Chain A
């Protein structure tokens, strides 16, 4: 039975479930020192003198590092979404001259224990000269507001434009126009494991080693090499277990410089483990956008134009993701609909808040909320059923590949394939839409407010530009896959093994997967952007195919038989019909060095899989909710996701991805919000204030339909990514369902999250105005 397509148990789980996984904070070295970061309590202030004397006088405190100690250190560069003009807004590892958000690193303390390091933080003295702060992007762009970076000459770092056709003219000629202001709140990914890093420097060899890196070890190694002025080959990055990434974890942050810098300077290993309070103020925030969007329809309810002016709150600096979130928002805002004329203008705005980056489904969670909410509002105005309005406007399979008109990540947005109407039908069937409508009507008669909503989404996945893999059969006959992808808990080890298992006719459980170690895997791009399945798996597949060919080549020499007469089975090759004329992988691996004359020696092969274009998985979220009108509370009664990913290598893992992402989507829809006061103080610094959903907040029932209706032509497996679509449609579906429930009261929903307090205020206001 082939391994591909089977719900093989995750290879990772044996060690994780038996407590043998080693996470960042589990890592120990002799003589380990512990770091703690002194963070700015001000949102905006001129930085004066930093006095470390009292801290250094405490027993066990080894060093206090400030900007002046770092010498001529550069700014942390962007990895994606680069804009030349934005370099002046990039962050340095420690604040110099000014602090621009609460939580900005001002000094790094190193001590014999984390306790002592925190004692030292207590007695640090810093002179701040507070400056007026701006915490609201909408105010940030007004004249006369404080400017964060003088070199920008204002608070708009960049304005991005997308233009397809002539939206102004088309809008003017539209039969019906619907304009709305819609907003998504600031929230972010909350991995269960916070960030953490250990660094050690060997002065003898000059080798600098780091443990606990994540997501993009190879890229970050290069960044560190540049910032430290340390040869890249003398830096080794090693991933440990990673307890969740979600876009947030694994980017190059100030601490990723401070820890290795200190280890090198002090000649002793240094560990820093982020605590939750730090995580909430220091790791990337995401999602905060304000849209002023208009859509125009012709007489038949066909979309003629879409015009969106939106603002993205970037926070105090530009980090490694540059302006990729606004880019992606604009690139995918049109979603599944045929929109002949489209304009988007994205203003990327600086505020005195934590800098931002991507979070699972970046730009799509926001854009899907905006577009799908708008479609429901428009349907009401047009007097058309919202599902019918969608169907009328879907891009059809025969229009594929479809050029949406914009682009992101240095490529045009060109949908590879898709059957959107079918995905909608599958989601509705999974929800049992017709009976949900009947139950809704019955509930209304009893005075209960039930609502049904959908959110259709087009995701993107499989970001290149390439990924690396090497497959090897070692001298003891074991199959090893080395991959440049990184694990963030998504199960990529298992699917890498599955893909190679079929090529080499061994069971996936017998394959060892190595990743995230720059010494053992020389090249890699990493684990993000739902790219593992569609980029790393094809790389491994091709490498395995090359090894398979070599196996036959060596075996045919040893067995003196034609390759066509050989059978590959369970770690050995035998001559067809003669089972005891057989050589094992172990024998083959040894014989392969140097091996037959016309073969590259060694039973291994590498492959770079190049992916110039992304794939576009798509699907539909559908929700049934009940709103308690008297208390404003929302309960999700039933939820369905139908999601087309071309091919599911491991359906269990895909389902896990979708449902896990859904939990985060629900967080964004109902619970999670990073709240600042007007002075730029972050008010949500613990899990008492920042509310992530637990299993109890999940829908009472969740149906997942994994669709394989449209395999992508862009890779040999036909697979698209599955990491993000479980989240992206959720804000839209839940908001539409709540809006549907409250429609009889005249409540309109234009912003997330739908907290009971906010909903109650809307319900009261609607009551007052009637």
Chain B
């Protein structure tokens, strides 16, 4: 469990990093928090000639809100997002998902960009970004591109980023009022990658009628699975438990998840159905509570 030889590079600026990638992209790997990459190196499953350490690059970390978006720099530690009041206020779904990523020790090192670049279909962050219709900002010496999740997440551990591109930030829309969120998952142990995870949002109007909803799942496909059509059935009515269960059934109707050691295909589908219904129910409950609060605040 020792990596083969590589050259270790420590750029200080983004331009310097992009320059190195322009030159060595194919043979280089960038190192963020190292929580996914270092094991891969040690198992010799990746063998880059150059390891480009982003940890000293200035300006890649930070959380800010502008234009109705929450923007998070790629090198922001997962733990920083988890503990950010701004995130909790403006994007509660993200705040709820964060503590479910690994353990505190992992999140102290692991970065937002690292998780989104690694693109593990079991990971929470890709599903959250997909559920929220976020945007991923890629930068290279050639310029910048902004991709939507469905364009960005291509396959298992694969994104649309070119070898010379860095993910520099991710943007998600600020959560609208009267929106409830929930992130539920089942994992074998606390801190393990989830077998299946579900990110859900439900927005209601003042009368409690559902006006919008979103649902994205981890662990049931090669990339996060967004269940747009299934959720649309909730819109225009007061959500009911029966309706959530119906969404759960619809979600799995089109799914053929791969089975593995910890979860058969059938079991994953079962979890997808059960957790979708539960997550929507919880989100709806919170949306209703939010609507109530808004009402009483006005009074």
Q: Which residues of B contact A764 (CB under 8 A)?
A: 266, 270
Assess whether B189 is in contact with A761, with CB atoms less than 8 Å apart. Answer: no
Give the contacting residue for A755; candidates B4, B44, B262, B271; CB below 8 A: B262
Interfacial residues of chain B within 146-205, with CB under 8 A of chain A in the complex: 186, 188-193, 195
Assess whether A689 is in contact with B261, with CB atoms less than 8 Å apart. Answer: yes
A689 to B39, CA, bound (A): 14
Assess whether A756 is in contact with B186, with CB atoms less than 8 Å apart. Answer: yes
Interface hit among A113-121, A504-512, A598-606, A608-616: A113-121
> Which residue from chain A places its CB closest to the CB of B42 in the assembled complex?
A275
Q: Which of B1, B191, B195 has the largest count of A CB atoms less than 10 A from its CB?
A: B1
**Does A633 count as interface, using CB distance less than 8 angstroms?**
yes
Assess whether B271 is in contact with A277, with CB atoms less than 8 Å apart. Answer: no
> Which residue from chain A places its CB closest to the CB of B278 in the assembled complex?
A630
A580 to B232, CA, bound (A): 95
Q: Which residues of B contact A115 (CB under 8 A)?
A: 2-5
A697 to B266, CA, bound (A): 25
Give the contacting residue for A756; candidates B39, B44, B191, B267; CB below 8 A: B267
A684 to B5, CA, bound (A): 27
Give the contacting residue for A691; candidates B2, B43, B189, B266; CB below 8 A: B189
Q: Which of A277, A696, A760 has the largest count of B CB atoms less than 10 A from its CB?
A: A760
Assess whether B264 is in contact with A757, with CB atoms less than 8 Å apart. Answer: yes
Assess whether B266 is in contact with A693, with CB atoms less than 8 Å apart. Answer: no
**Does B263 count as interface, using CB distance less than 8 angstroms?**
yes
Assess whether B267 is in contact with A691, with CB atoms less than 8 Å apart. Answer: no
Q: Which residues of A contact B39 (CB under 8 A)?
A: 686
| Minimum C-beta distance from B92 to chain A (A) | 24
Assess whether A630 is in contact with B264, with CB atoms less than 8 Å apart. Answer: no
Interfacial residues of chain B within 36-66, with CB under 8 A of chain A in the complex: 39, 43-44
| Interface residues in B, total, Cβ within 8 A | 26
Q: Which residues of B contact A276 (CB under 8 A)?
A: 1
> Which residue from chain A places its CB closest to the CB of B3 in the assembled complex?
A115
Q: Which of B43, B188, B192, B193 has the largest count of A CB atoms less than 10 A from its CB?
A: B188
Q: Total A-B pairs in contact (CB under 8 Å)?
A: 66
Kindly supply a per-residue 1/0 record for chain B positions 1-22, scoring 1 wherever the CB is within 8 Å of any chain A CB and 0 otherwise. Answer: 1111100000000000000000
Interfacial residues of chain A within 223-277, with CB under 8 A of chain B in the complex: 275-277
A693 to B274, CA, bound (A): 25
| Minimum C-beta distance from B263 to chain A (A) | 5
Assess whether B191 is in contact with A761, with CB atoms less than 8 Å apart. Answer: no
Give the contacting residue for B189; candidates A114, A277, A671, A689; CB below 8 A: A671
| Minimum C-beta distance from B121 to chain A (A) | 14
Kindly supply a per-residue 1/0 record for chain A positions 678-703, scoring 1 wherever the CB is within 8 Å of any chain B CB and 0 otherwise. Answer: 00000110101101011011000000
Q: Which residues of B contact A671 (CB under 8 A)?
A: 188-189
Assess whether A122 is in contact with B4, with CB atoms less than 8 Å apart. Answer: yes
Assess whether B190 is in contact with A631, with CB atoms less than 8 Å apart. Answer: no
Assess whether A696 is in contact with B261, with CB atoms less than 8 Å apart. Answer: no
Assess whether B2 is in contact with A114, with CB atoms less than 8 Å apart. Answer: yes
A276 to B39, CA, bound (A): 12
> Which residue from chain B places its CB closest to the CB of A667 in the assembled complex?
B189
Assess whether A757 is in contact with B263, with CB atoms less than 8 Å apart. Answer: yes
A683 to B43, CA, bound (A): 15
| Minimum C-beta distance from B46 to chain A (A) | 14
Assess whether B264 is in contact with A755, with CB atoms less than 8 Å apart. Answer: no
> Which residue from chain A places its CB closest to the CB of B4 in the assembled complex?
A119
Q: Which residues of A contact B195 (CB under 8 A)?
A: 756
Assess whether B267 is in contact with A761, with CB atoms less than 8 Å apart. Answer: yes
Q: Which residues of A contact B (CB under 8 A)?
A: 114-115, 118-119, 122, 275-277, 630-633, 671, 675, 683-684, 686, 688-689, 691, 693-694, 696-697, 755-757, 760-761, 764
Task: Give 6 A-B contacts (CB < 8 Å), ordered by A residue.
Answer: A118-B1, A631-B271, A683-B261, A696-B190, A755-B188, A757-B263
Q: Which residues of B contact A (CB under 8 A)?
A: 1-5, 39, 43-44, 186, 188-193, 195, 261-264, 266-267, 270-271, 274-275
